[in-house]
Amino acid sequence: MNTLRGELEASFRRFHDAWIAEMTAAITDEARDLHTYSDSYKDLASLHAWSCYMFEGRMAESAHAFHVEAKNDALTSHVLAVMGVWRASLQTLRACIENALCAQFFKDHPVENELRDAGQYRKGFSDLLAYFRSHPGLAGLDERVSGLDLLGGEYAKLSMAVHGSSDSYRMTTETGAVQMFVQDDIRMRQWRSRERNVLIGLNCLLTCLYRSQLSGSQKPALRESIGAVLPAGKRDAIKDQLGVFLPGI
């Protein structure tokens, strides 16, 4: 037993030193495309802007905590992507969608929120999506404007990363070799596409839900942050259907 314990301790030390060295090499690789990550951070800032300019002090803290967690999920996904930990970065991106939607649902349902806090209530993603698809504040709006088409589609794709059901999302090699940090331009672009669509979808949804507080000259800093994320076509559609002007950058 003492021999086994010693061997495992030595193996742990080798593994510990090796993964730290691999991680350090991954995050200091000068060949990485930092422009992609800079664009990612710009988009992530919109989630913080929603907290600062719309939710803090106006939403129950327990509901707002879901949005804060969604923001943390998105930042964690960003950091993991920089490290080349692709599957986990996509898993936390899926959690970002769930937490952002939960924030809005539980804001509107304080009783269910209390039951949830007591461990007696849970709302899954399918139920959340169905709720927002029947939300009166989104009635008559094209899902391409509300963002629900993107959120539903991206959640399904990200679920494949969670369950490892697609080979393209796996970190291990065909021979079974362990890989924790993989710098790969193709995977980076795939992750960035998933992340961008999630953030476009969330910003569209929130803009629709809070359009009465974003019209005219209200909350210019928040509208600017949203506009920095959304492509021109989305901004134009939102202006036409909601009367909310979102400046581009």
Residue 44 lies in a domain: yes
Task: Specify the pLDDT at position 180.
Answer: 75
Q: How many domains does the chain have?
A: 1
Task: Specify the pLDDT at position 131.
Answer: 96
Residue 3 lies in a domain: no
Residue 248 lies in a domain: no
Residue 58 lies in a domain: yes
Task: Specify the pLDDT at position 161.
Answer: 81
Query: What gap in Å lies between CA 235 and CA 221, rounded to an integer?
Result: 16
Helix boundaries (H) for the chain: 2-27, 34-50, 61-83, 86-108, 110-117, 125-133, 143-146, 148-163, 185-209, 220-229, 232-242
Contact assessment for residue 177 and residue 81, using Cβ atoms and an 8 Å cutoff: no
Residue 1 lies in a domain: no
Residue 2 lies in a domain: no
Other beta carbons less than 10 A from residue 103's beta carbon:
25
Query: What gap in Å lies between CA 128 and CA 137, rounded to an integer?
Result: 15
Q: How far is CA 129 from CA 9, 107, 191, 213, in A?
A: 48, 15, 23, 23
Q: In which residue are the tokens 């992750």 written? A: 191
Task: Specify the pLDDT at position 171.
Answer: 62
- List the chain residues with pLDDT less than 50: none
Task: Specify the pLDDT at position 165.
Answer: 56
Residue 247 lies in a domain: no
Q: What is the pLDDT of residues 171-210, one digit of tens each?
A: 666 666 677 778 888 889 999 999 999 999 999 999 999 9
Q: Which domain holds residue 184?
A: 10-25+32-242
Task: Specify the pLDDT at position 28.
Answer: 77
Residue 4 lies in a domain: no
Read off the pTM: 0.91
Q: What is the pLDDT of residues 4-27, one digit of tens each?
A: 888 888 998 998 888 888 888 877
Q: DSSP letters along 21-50, please?
A: HHHHHHHT-TTS-HHHHHHHHHHHHHHHHH
**Per residue in 147-183, is it b (16+ CB within 10 Å) or e — as a string?**
bbebbbebbebbbbbbeeeeeebebeeeeeeeebbbb
Query: What gap in Å lies between CA 5 and CA 223, rounded to an integer?
Result: 59
